[in-house]
Amino acid sequence: MSINTVAFKKTMLAWDAIAKKAPIDIVQEVKKIAGEHPEAEKLGTAWVSQITTINHTLHDALDKVVNAKDDKSRADAAKNASGIVKKYQAFVTGTHLPPDVQTHLKNGLAELAKGLGT
């Protein structure tokens, strides 16, 4: 499957917005429950750290897809990016993130996977 880079760039921009908003939303949700749950802040910090690391890794992989010089390189980069998306999806599904954050990440990752042809 060939990737339409123009359409994929739009998908990537939408993902970037979701990825940038997720840590902010986590911090806001943690503040709401911090008084009731003493470990909430520690957990929220860990989630933000994990998400930030994955987002950077994924963003670099997606850039390689867009900037590939030929179809073979793009296909290889897309395969690598798809693997990262799948790991991220597993993280989101297996983590008790705030529901709204989890939903936004799941939907955004699903769109990325679709754009990558997986």
* Domains of the chain, residue spans: 5-116
Residue 42's CB: how many other CB atoms inside 10 A?
12
Segment 48-77 shows an average pLDDT of 94
Residue 7: partners with Cβ closer than 8 Å, 6 or more residues away: 115
Residue 81 has pLDDT above 90, yes or no: yes
User: Which class would CATH give 5-116?
Assistant: mainly alpha
Q: How far from 97 is each of 10, 30, 81, CA to CA, in Å? A: 26, 10, 23
Q: How far is it, in rounded angstroms, from Cα 44 to Cα 34?
A: 10
Contact criterion met (CB below 8 Å) for 108 and 19: yes
1 pLDDT band, cuts 50/70/90, is low
Contact criterion met (CB below 8 Å) for 62 and 81: yes
